[in-house]
Structure 1
Amino acid sequence: MSTNQQLKPNHADKKHGAFKLLTSYIWRDRPLLTRAVTFLLLATVADVVGPMLAKIFIDDYLLPKNFESISLILLLSAYLISQFAAAWFRYQQTMRFTDIALEAVQDIRKKVFAHVLKLPMAYFDKAMTGQLVSRITNDTESIKDLYVQFLSVVIGNVVFLAGILIAMALLNVQLMLAALALIPAVICVIYLYEKFSGAAVQEARELRSDINGRVSESISGMTVLQASNQQQRFSDQFSKVNQGYYLARMKTIRASGALLRPMIDLLSVLVLLAIVWIFSLQVVSGVAEIGVLYAFLSYLGRFTEPLAEITQRFNLYQQAMVAGERVNRLMQAGEQTWHQNSSQSSGQTEAEITKGKICVEKLNFAYHPDKPILKDLNFQVNPGQFYAVVGHTGSGKSTLLSLLLNFYSANENAICFDDQPIEQFGHDSLRAGIGLIPQEPFIIAGSIGENIDMGRKLPQQQIEKAAKQAHLHSMISRLPNGYQTELGERGTRLSTGQRQQLVIARALAASPRILLLDEATANVDSETEQVVQRALMELHGQVSMIMVAHRLSTIKHADNILVLSHGEIVESGNHQQLMQLDDGLYRSMYQLQQQAAKVEAAS
């Protein structure tokens, strides 16, 4: 299930959530908004003054042939000043609205990314990376258009229309009423446009996110994709989604082409004919002035243009609202998932792991209610003990580590650290007390020191101590830049074994009391395996360790080995004890690995 399918509220709730999210930023910076509106009002006054001055020139100076130089110079100067002032005020207004937009988008993007970083692992089991990236980047960028391209234009043009209508009323009420009829007609056009294009805009946005998701998925899995000769299948799937996006966009373009600018132009021509007809009647009655007609025609051109701009920008409004709804849905979906996994929220006390004792009692867990993964697990790890967990694929080994890390919520009080339920530990204290060494090393594009520190601002001495514990310090010392050596993306400058040692150093740098290892030696050579094993043995007795192991040779010195089968502990004991069990699962697994190693060595 993709993120687009999760927690879909009804249409009214979606609009309300998006509207609340977007409008909250409009009122956040009131001083900046006040300045923007002030410049908008001044620009409107300056714009409206122009045709009024032109009307005065025609009726009071041009037609009567009154060419008094001082009056004309003053009139011309006032006209030029009004036009320059209007341009400057418009520029200032645009800058202020852009400032509001960029600050809003920056804050939304920061909050969304911070929220995604804190989401429980259960959320990412169903999420697609490309879709999340699309929401954090593309959708937040579309929200910017709401403030810059839509909000600024709509507010500016509404105020401008009000100013024009006031000026028209001062000149001629009948002509103003004829022009006023254009507004309800435009509102009907906007309503029809939203009705015909709303679903298509939503569909296009979702399909665009799917395109990003499929591209991200294909690129990240390119090796497997080409090795299994799946290029054509993935290409066909992408083409299908891409075609759907094209058709959805064409629907919106057809609606826009039929209902926006062409319809506004048609309505403005009809209004123009009405004004000319009314003016001709007034001429016959002898109450009309040529300057008034000129001013009205000038105002009408400025009157229809804002309406056309509003309708044109309405497409951006729809896209921004859809984007805002998608961002808001991500935030809300995450919050609901967070509450469903309530044990991952802040603990009720300031409990900290100081000893490293682990107690698991009657632990049950299932990703789906009808498919249990772990069944009634019971064991206890005393401080400093080394426990290993083994079993066939799908037996629940990695799931157990995920529960100990609180990535997923288990049944209440099933897991305790230092005799306190896991629910009592806050996120920070839990992460400080537990170190994780995953099977696949995660290396950031930074220096070796930064990869060990991971933003914790640890002293250099502590970083070097961790590197020594991981038997990596001597290698780092031989590098020209030492701990400041820059690593490429995914740590490509290091070997697979060195990357694993780096991850071990990272886990040890914070001096955790518990160390969890998820098949830490599965992807390293035998030489590196021995180095890793030696590092772990040196920690034996100092740190409580639980190691999920595929290579059973690495856990021969474990204090206790838990053998899982179909989510249950079927055997328990140290290596010697388990090897004495006739027909034991651990014994058969160990013997098979030993035989495989002999065959490999012989070949």
Structure 2
Amino acid sequence: MFHRFRIVRQYDSVDCALACLKMICQHYKMYHSLDASEYSYYISKDGISLASVVEIARKNHFEVACGKVFLEQLTQEVTLPCILYWNRNHFVVLYKISQLHGKFFFHMADPAKGHVVFSLSEFEQHWSTDTVDSRAQGIVILLEPDGNCQPTTVKKRKTEKKTFLPILLSYKKMLLYLLLGVLIGAGIQMAFPILTQWIVDKGIEGGDISFILMVLIGQMALITGNMFNDFFRKVLVLKLGSRFSISLLTDLVAKMLRLPVRFFDSKPMGDFIQRLQDHDKVERFVTVYFVNCVFSLITLLVLGIVLMTYNGYIFLVFVLGSILYIIWTYLFVNKRKTLNYELFAVKAKNQGKYYEILKGITEIKLQNLEQRNRDDIENIQKNLYHTNVKALKIDQYLDVGNVFINELKNILITFLSAYFVIRGDITFGMMMSIQYIIGELNVPIAQFLTFIAGYQDAKLSLDRMNSIFSIDNEEDGGKEAFKPQHGVISVEHLHFKYVMSGNDILHDMNLCLPLGKKIAIVGSSGSGKTTLVKLLLKLYEPTQGKIVVSNTDIKNVKNRLWRNSCGAVLQDGFIFSGTLRENIILEKSFNEERFHQAVSISNVETFAEPLPYKYETRIGDNGMRLSQGQIQRILIARAIYKNPDIFFFDEATNSLDANNEKDILEKLKPILKGKTVFVVAHRLSTVKDADIILVMDHGTIIEQGTHTSLVEKQGYYYQLIRNQLELGN
């Protein structure tokens, strides 16, 4: 069916709203890019809020109205197309409402499923959020271009997107060798029908057994040559596949490592895992389907010419049958495409759920959540099963039609061949040769159609990967030489929010702190302490304002240079799979003196030395299990070994017992002397000796001073630590 309303697919489970806005833009001939990278500030792992959709639409020159409307208002008064809030977790575009025999039908563009049509009852079930006086109502976003909007084209920007042609051309030498192998194979294929004809027409009819033996020996030589040709061709394909796979996957991982942390906050884990696995489809297309397609096309060309020289009518029947075969297959392309998107979404959800279960297995057992998680997996598998059943049905319809067309074509060709033999237009040997050619040509036709399906899968996979390659890299300053040792750290009118439409996490913060001092940050949970630390580490960019260190805006300092100057122990610090030593040094060079100092000060040696392999003991997901206290000691040792100019300790000792904490803090004092140290903590023992204590609440600094001055003030800081003070007394 022909649809005038052009669909835009979502690549992730959270991109549906942007895809809907793209469709509306295209409808009004406004080709804004609306890349997820440009609006990552608006997207979280839960998706995008209605407020964010409205704000993005207004930024792109739309007048927007958003709210609840009754169903009868939607069918009679609303201007289409519009965006609907669907199933309470999704966005779709309603572009047409039709009537047939007095019944309403709703035509929608779903970025996850494609073009869909619902009856009134089905539509109400998915769209309605509540009822008022038995009247269904749901959420609608109405959009019309404002007066400032003009039809535009997408402004192209430089990206790292991958396309098939450059990928293939990067392996020109191998492809030339493969082409040579394919041509040799096609030449051998061309000889077989001619030899078959000779055996029948000259050998059998002429009664010449020596000629038959000579032809058979020739056939055997060609078969042997073809075997060697196939062997070397497969070796080349294997090499091409390996190099291509390594190149594509490493490029994708390298790109992901250059992306800002915010990007990883905006998507579920399952989406990332599924994308990394998508490279298999692209590799299979380049190394299998593409090579087979080239071989098939050359075979079709060579054997087609031979067939045409035998009989033009038979060749015409073959061509018409093949065209019909291809048309029938093409009718199912869009349906397969829709299912591919649906399958990606279900598989990504499946991957995410497995990851969640494996990571949260302890909590699942503690909370007796085994049955609930089992049910979740079962429901996902049911969805996966239903999607696969849909795909199987399409394949069955496709196969039935293809088999019927193919067999009908073969029967007609057999009949025509027999008819022309009886008439004397062709010999019996030619008929045998034609049957051989038709058998050989059926394979390339099937392979060509497999190529179309493979291309479709690979194109979708490459598009998903390109949605990552199109994202701008993490902002990086240009300043190569910087040492934060003198002066002050100045925070000027700093604002920050994780999601643009959300509330400020940090609000109009202003600070001036001397370098070389110990600065403690305290406050209730959720006051913005960790967020401030992550901004100081350049893990996030401020929404507004700036951070200036030694008269230099850290935005202008190279990320690698700045982070080399910082050592951090964060609440979510990570232990890599490897040895204890590797987890502490994290670099190729090794300084034994610094290493022993780090493990001594952090008390890592107290649990590492008794181990059979000491610091070569494997830890992480593939090694020895560690307690939270041991993990924190390793992270502290890592920061000490790095020997940075600025230290950040975010609840770095909250999992340590009192004795270990006291011992480590005492040992840290000499090496931290003269260094800039930021400490986020709730324990009084950790913060009371700080030179400056910053007290945070709701994203702002409400108090600042030393422990003594703040206690005397008896303000918010005093209320936070009063219980600890009373316990100390």
TM-score (norm 1): 0.90
Deviates more, 1:147-156 or 1:183-192: 147-156
Query: Residue 497 of structure 2 aligns to a residue in which SS?
Result: strand
Deviates more, 1:2-11 or 1:95-104: 2-11
Query: Residue 356 of structure 2 aligns to a residue in which SS?
Result: helix
Return the alpha-carbon distance in structure 2 between the equivalents of residues 373 and 109 of structure 1.
Answer: 36
TM-aligned CA deviation for residue 348 of structure 1? 2.0
Deviates more, 1:453-462 or 1:2-11: 2-11
Alignment map for 1:54-65 (pairs within 5 Å) = 54-65=196-207
2:393 maps to 1:254? yes
TM-aligned CA deviation for residue 281 of structure 1? 4.2
Distance change (3 Å), C-alpha of 1:384 and 1:270: same
- Tell me, which stretches of 5 or more residues in structure 1 are unaligned? 339-343, 599-603
Deviates more, 1:250-259 or 1:3-12: 3-12
Query: Residue 371 of structure 1 aligns to a residue in which SS?
Result: coil
Query: Residue 414 of structure 1 aligns to a residue in which SS?
Result: strand
Alignment map for 1:177-196 (pairs within 5 Å) = 177-196=316-335
Residue in 2 that maps onto 1:296: 434
2:434 maps to 1:327? no
2:413 maps to 1:275? yes
Counterpart contact for 1:497–1:528, Cα < 8 Å: no
TM-aligned CA deviation for residue 436 of structure 1? 0.6
Residue in 2 that maps onto 1:601: none
Query: Residue 105 of structure 1 aligns to a residue in which SS?
Result: helix
2:602 maps to 1:470? yes
TM-aligned CA deviation for residue 28 of structure 1? 1.0
More strand by share: 2
Alignment map for 1:572-587 (pairs within 5 Å) = 572-582=704-714, 584-587=715-718
Q: Which stretches of structure 1, 4 residues or longer, exceed 6 Å deviation after superposition?
A: 10-14, 16-19
Counterpart contact for 2:491–2:546, Cα < 8 Å: yes
Task: Provide, for residues 544-593 of structure 1, a one-character-per-residue CA deviation record: whole Å limited to 9, x for no partner.
Answer: 011111112211100010000111111110000000013x1111111123
Aligned partner (choices 323, 339, 345) of residue 475 of structure 2: 345
2:443 maps to 1:309? no
Counterpart contact for 2:648–2:679, Cα < 8 Å: yes
Aligned partner (choices 329, 348, 358) of residue 489 of structure 2: 358
Aligned partner (choices 550, 556, 577) of residue 445 of structure 1: 577
TM-aligned CA deviation for residue 280 of structure 1? 4.2
Counterpart contact for 2:601–2:664, Cα < 8 Å: no
Aligned partner (choices 385, 402, 412) of residue 264 of structure 1: 402
Counterpart contact for 1:205–1:323, Cα < 8 Å: no
Query: Residue 489 of structure 1 aligns to a residue in which SS?
Result: coil
Residue in 1 that maps onto 2:56: none
Return the alpha-carbon distance in structure 2 between the equivalents of residues 231 and 527 of structure 1.
Answer: 38
2:273 maps to 1:133? yes
Return the alpha-carbon distance in structure 2 between the equivalents of residues 19 and 375 of structure 1.
Answer: 37
2:668 maps to 1:536? yes
TM-aligned CA deviation for residue 502 of structure 1? 1.8
TM-aligned CA deviation for residue 534 of structure 1? 1.4
TM-score (norm 2): 0.75
More helix by share: 1
Deviates more, 1:155-164 or 1:144-153: 144-153
Return the alpha-carbon distance in structure 2 between the equivalents of residues 2 and 46 of structure 1.
Answer: 45
Aligned partner (choices 183, 186, 192) of residue 50 of structure 1: 192
Q: Partner amino acid for 2:552?
A: Q
Aligned partner (choices 255, 259, 279) of residue 115 of structure 1: 255
2:291 maps to 1:152? yes
Distance change (3 Å), C-alpha of 1:49 and 1:40: same
Alignment map for 1:161-176 (pairs within 5 Å) = 161-176=300-315
Counterpart contact for 1:97–1:147, Cα < 8 Å: no
Return the alpha-carbon distance in structure 2 between the equivalents of residues 413 and 595 of structure 1.
Answer: 40
* Greater relative CO, 1 or 2 (CA 8 Å, sep 6+): 1
Return the alpha-carbon distance in structure 2 between the equivalents of residues 301 and 31 of structure 1.
Answer: 33
- The number of residues matched between the two structures is 584
Q: Quick one: percent identity of the two aligned structures?
A: 23
TM-aligned CA deviation for residue 139 of structure 1? 1.2
Deviates more, 1:177-186 or 1:419-428: 177-186
Task: Provide, for residues 438-461 of structure 1, a one-character-per-residue CA deviation record: whole Å limited to 9, x for no partner.
Answer: 124422232222111113523333
Residue in 2 that maps onto 1:373: 505
Q: Partner amino acid for 1:89?
A: N
Deviates more, 1:433-442 or 1:510-519: 433-442
Distance change (3 Å), C-alpha of 1:238 and 1:420: same
Q: Partner amino acid for 1:380?
A: C
Residue in 1 that maps onto 2:14: 5
Counterpart contact for 2:493–2:544, Cα < 8 Å: no
Q: Partner amino acid for 1:88?
A: F
Task: Provide, for residues 474-504 of structure 1, a one-character-per-residue CA deviation record: whole Å limited to 9, x for no partner.
Answer: 6655655443343353874555433322211
Alignment map for 1:61-140 (pairs within 5 Å) = 61-67=203-209, 69=210, 71-136=211-276, 138-140=277-279
Counterpart contact for 1:51–1:299, Cα < 8 Å: yes
TM-aligned CA deviation for residue 174 of structure 1? 2.7
TM-aligned CA deviation for residue 115 of structure 1? 2.2
Aligned partner (choices 362, 380, 385) of residue 241 of structure 1: 380
Residue in 2 that maps onto 1:341: none
Counterpart contact for 2:494–2:507, Cα < 8 Å: yes
Return the alpha-carbon distance in structure 2 between the equivalents of residues 23 and 517 of structure 1.
Answer: 49
TM-aligned CA deviation for residue 194 of structure 1? 0.6
